[in-house]
Structure 1
Amino acid sequence: MDEPEHGGRPAPRRRACGPVLRVLGITAALVGLTVGTLWTAPGAPALPTGPHGGVDLPWWALALAYAATEATVLHIQVKREAQTVAVSELPLVLGLFFAGPLSLLAGRLAGSAAVLVLHRRSTPLKTAFNLSLAAAETGVAVLVFGVVGHLADGVPVLWVGALAAALLANVLGIVSIGLVIAAFEGGLRPAALAREAVTGQPVAPMVVAVALVAVTSLAADVRSTWLLLLAAAGLLAAYRSYASLNDRHLNLERLYRFTQAVTSSPEIDVVLGNVLAEARELLKAENAEVLFPAPGSGTVARVRLGASGRLSRSEGGQSPADEWLLRGVVADGEAQLLPRTTRGAAEREWLAAQHAREAIAVPLRGGAGTVGVLLVTDRLGDVRTFDEEDVLLLETVANHASVALQNGELIDRLRHEALHDALTGLPNRAFLQRRLTPALDDVRSGRAAGAAVMILDLDGFKEVNDTLGHQQGDQLLVEVAARLVSAAGSAGTVTRLGGDEFAVLVTDAADEDRVVRLGRRLLRALEQPIALGGLEVEVGGSLGIALAPAHASDPAGLLKRADVAMYDAKGAARGLRVYTPDLDTSDPRRLTLVSELRTALAGGGIEVHVQPQARLATGEVSGVEALVRWHHPELGSVSPEEFVPVAERSGLIGPLTTHVLDRSLAACAAWQAEGHGLGVAVNLSARSLLDTDLVDEVARLLARHAVPAHRLTLEVTEGSVMADPARAIALLHRLRDLGVRLSVDDFGTGYSSLSYLKRLPVDEVKIDRSFVTGLRRGTEDVAIVRAVTDLGRHLQLEVVAEGVEDAATWELLREMGCDIVQGWHLGRAMPVDDLLPWLRARAAARVTVGTV
């Protein structure tokens, strides 16, 4: 049957008074029920021992049997209540057959009282309720068994009576427990209680069956008692083993869910919340918290999980009791078990200071050793206290928590790296965008008087880089960054946009003169020579300034105007320039291109041409490169080298890239429908690699045109990657995960060549045309092309050569092992609609004169 063990920390007196009175009322009702059932039972006040005479169980034997069954139980926790499932039907059935009602009642009360007082140490209220319930269940069982026995005679009928008596007694127990739980928790649900009364005793019929076997055996020969005792001991041991295995299984399942929860989120608060919730759930504890001592300060920070599931924080000095606990757990790294039965003076003092009955404290480790203490106090219910197995369980939770917290620290570092330049340590373009948006919001709302952006481009950096090498160039950038930060101080935030371009954000810029003075201080910081490899080199800078709200109130507009001012300063060799509206009119063609490029994109004036690519081994055309073309109605053909930078500076590079991708994939789908499985390669600009929406846009367009991802190749230059390596490489990995092929364009002409190639998730490298066109002359270009081809083979990358203009170059590349070629010898760039006719004409020509 089931017995209640409602426990935990006492509620405040004003809240507990009502539930206690209700429980006392239920207890009194059960006592009255006991008297009534025993008085009205057939044959009362002394029921004959039944048909199996010769066996008379004394009350003390029944007491021992009840004590044994009640002490060997399976604990089931429900919120603040613990239910104990015991095989008490066994002595009940034996007592019904072989003892009188009063002996059965006395034995049950004596055995239950011994367990409640000596073993479980229940409170007086719990003891009174449990004993009254035991008495009432006994009375109901005696009444039912007596009624059945008087209605009909015979052993099978009495068997039915014993089963009915046990089941109805259990129904009484379930209903009583439900009423007590409702008294403390509230919300009595009669339907659920009735369902539990019917389905909540699956073990009872089996226990009654075992008891009836014992009755039959004892009636046949009383000497079978010893065999029955051995069988009962084995049954109880197996039951206890099952209970232990069941608890372990549930704990393992909870640990698995806990591991999933803490590893799914890098947020420290989420991890701590999951850790404390799981510690409280696994150990059935009233409270869970984490203590973080501050070394050398004598203070300790506490993070607690409240009843609502929210974290609360507090900080205070360490009490002597806290010092004892922290010294043992943090300093010595040892877990501390403080059970209810502890007699240690220090342990009792700490429990008293915490107003706790019991506790477990285990170390919480971080990357630099033990950083805190994971603590649980007061196990719910009185069925058991914390033990060594609970310590191991909490240590497991703490170990998972330590790993998750360290992963959270790693994520924080990765986020820092995503917003900072890897070379100089300065904030990067993404950081500037994040800071600029709220700064301009403050300006628009009147919370700030103004803001300013400065863009600084180094003068002479390319010469230093080309002459002394990229390593010295990197060292120069590091020194420049340090000087700019020192010069700016707290007046502005210095960021590196990429390459040799820096920016400074000033969030309190109501005074233009103060901003100009800061800009001149930045330029003066670059006047002193910089020592590089035993040489002293000089670099200057050109700086443009744009102010909000005077020049623009949006991030893109402000950055654009600072960029315009910087280019004017560089062109006029004046060092510093504040944006003025006339700067935009100083170049009418640029203004015309910006406005009309936007119109051309909206009206379909931007075309996509394609240039074929063929495999050297077979001569078969395998794909094309998409080339953007703009024929202006008045200016004529505008070179991509002219309008693509305009698109980048004006914020139109995103729509332009989307347009080229859309037209290219539409053409690829059309060729696919005609039976030509051609791939298409599209160039990405440096600004495109900074666009966080690029991956989603590519995925959307692939799905729209139903083109397999491997048919699309995205080409990037080394320089575009080096503008912000960490961010660009992360974006390339996301594109690669889509299944898109990646290519490094103009290989060998950028910043890093071999050192960065192995870090990029690319499928091919394209040899720049400047190296390919010199192959026939036998210059050093031959060695360069051969080296790149060998490198691609060893790195399992395909090598594409562009600028192949004659058959001799074609053959040289074939001998070197180049994979794919592109150039006028194969085919010039052509409109998309001309490709299929060109393919048919080429196929016919190859049939006639042989393969190219």
Structure 2
Amino acid sequence: MICLLVLAAGYLTMVTATGAAIDRVLMPMRFGVVDRQASGKVAIVEMDADSAAAIARWPWSRSHYAAVVDRLRKAGAASIVFDVDFSSPSDAAGDRALAASLSRADGRVALPTFGQVAGSDDQRTIDALPIPMLRDHAILASVSIRPDPDGQVRNMTMATVTAGQPRPSLSAFIAARSGAVDQEFPIDMSIDPSTIPRLSFVAVRDGRFDASRVRGRNVLVGATAIEMGDRYGTPQWGVIPGVVVQALAAETLIRGVPSYGSPLLVFLLAAIVVCVMLRFRTTIGSTVVMGVSLCVLILGVLLAQQYLLITYPIATAALMMVLTGMACLVRDVIGRFKRQRSVDEATGLPNSRQLLDLSNRGETIVLAVAQIGNYDPLRAVLGERGTADVVLRVSERLALVGERGQVYRMSDPQLAFCLPLDQSIDDALHGLRTIMLQQVEVGGRRVDVAMTIGIATGPCAEMERVIADASLAAEDARASDLFWKRAQTDIVGLERSISLMGELDDAIASGQVEVFYQPKYDLRETCITSVEALVRWRHPSRGFVGPDLFIPVAEKTNRIAPLTLHVLSHVIRDLAVLRAQHPQLTAAINISAKLLSSSSFNTEVERLIAAAGTPASALVFEVTESAAMADTNKAVAALHRYRALGIAVSMDDYGTGQSTLSYLRQLPLNELKIDRSFVQHAHQNPDDAILVRSTIELAHRLGLKVVAEGVEDDACFEFLRTSGCDMIQGYLISKPVPLQSLATILGSHYRYAA
């Protein structure tokens, strides 16, 4: 917007009289840079005050001019040019004397012709020519001078038309330059008029002058006495006689024919500079560009004027640059004011006001509020500056998962960031917990930061509500000793949406519900031998809806059966493709507690397996301890039924239930999965290490394979390998990926080396 305004202002300046007026004001400074001496090829015979005093009668008899012509001719003048009006008769003897003198000059004399206004009430222009008897042996040249609207003379014409004939100007005649009628050229006002040789008229008439001062020169004869009038204002030299103006114009043309450069070229160059200035985000950068560009512009214009004889306008370009500089200054002042209002002073992070500005965006947002649980103790130990550094280090870690890397400081202990809509929350936060468990180094000290995260989803237009929900969820996560927790309003809102509108049914039918796969790495075979199927809901407006959010709702609304069958059919179909290249690959599917006792569900499972080309032995059904405890007899019967079909059975989330050991004896299990809450820190926490090792030993004694989930670093991997664990699962190997990405991983013959 600033660029458009500046360009518009520059264009208007260029096409209106404003730019020309400013350039006229600047003209004296442009000419004042160079002090040029006259060439010496032009001399002035001035009708000065001494001459007026010696020849007391006015108008002078033309016999005086005749005498001057003869004297100059004999002295060897190259040409004699009069800036004197001969358009009306004088005394007869004098007129005859001048005519005779002109005939003796052999065409070396130019007499003036000009246009003049008929009268005060008649604005017609009448052409004035010398009287007829003087025209035969003289050249007629125009002496018309056209001041600018401000009365200053800056230009001269190459030729004009009088009496229907084109006439060269005095300056063009003297310099022997040709040009078009009314073609104007700028007079070089850097030429010092005082360096033009001058002789008094009466001294020349009387022969009292040095002939060498006119020999070979072009001599201008004209009035310089104040009482004779004929004076003009100039931008550089003030009011000077018209004959001196003519001499300056002649001196200009002797050097060459100057011209005016295109204002459009300067405008375009200035436009480029304006665009460059606006690319800088700071006033300093814009000012430097403006200063350098102005210097280059001025230098270029002066060089073109002095050496190329091209006069370019400078006002428009300079005005555009100055306006842009002022606009950048105003922009930065306003921006600084906005930043002061929207940036946290201690850390420089954007504050809650900036986050609230997102309410103008018409889209859904997934907001995470991270709360530092030990903020007050950190401040007591580190002080305000040290704590601010801690907040900055934490924000750098949060930015790794935040959308566009932006993190906001909401209050002293709270930071907020947006999660990508096209990624599940589990995937987005998969490594953040591990990163946050690492100590933060500040001022040579290493400190622990206790953090919990609250998640809330909603439209940007309801940003205040979303922030409040996420903040409450962060506090609930702290109270529940969880790393992150979703806002209760998300669950209630989704439940209401599903129960009233059937969104989940539509999502399954329209293909919004997708199946991702997380590989399981066999520590003995050192390769991926199995995967776990995980459901993902890509909602058209909410983005990715996490399984932690919609699966409990699906169970409550009796939609878990069609959802599970949808996943199972996908897995069977995908396994048929994958096992063509990897025949030993198996896939695990989570089975809800409600489904173990559902005869219709089990019948449909048998139908799908019977109709598929994939053997049942390629499938693993994962059930939780809570599923087994809900109705033990029905659960055991259902699991035996699966085993009879050839499907392996795995107990998921082992260690989080209440009666684990007794059910290990009763349930027909093939595999046991240790919950991530025990695995993640088993290599660091002795209690967790004991639990994991004893579980592995117990499972092996019962003939079960052991899968450890939640493996996210090399140290944990090595601990599980040396502890005899069979398989591991976690982000260290791979996050959940779609089928095509899984095929790529398997095709690379993945081998992990710690």
Q: Verify same fold: TM over 0.5.
A: no
* Larger relative contact order, structure 1 or 2 (CA cutoff 8 Å, min sep 6): 2
Which one has the largest radius of gyration? 2
TM-score by length of 1: 0.30
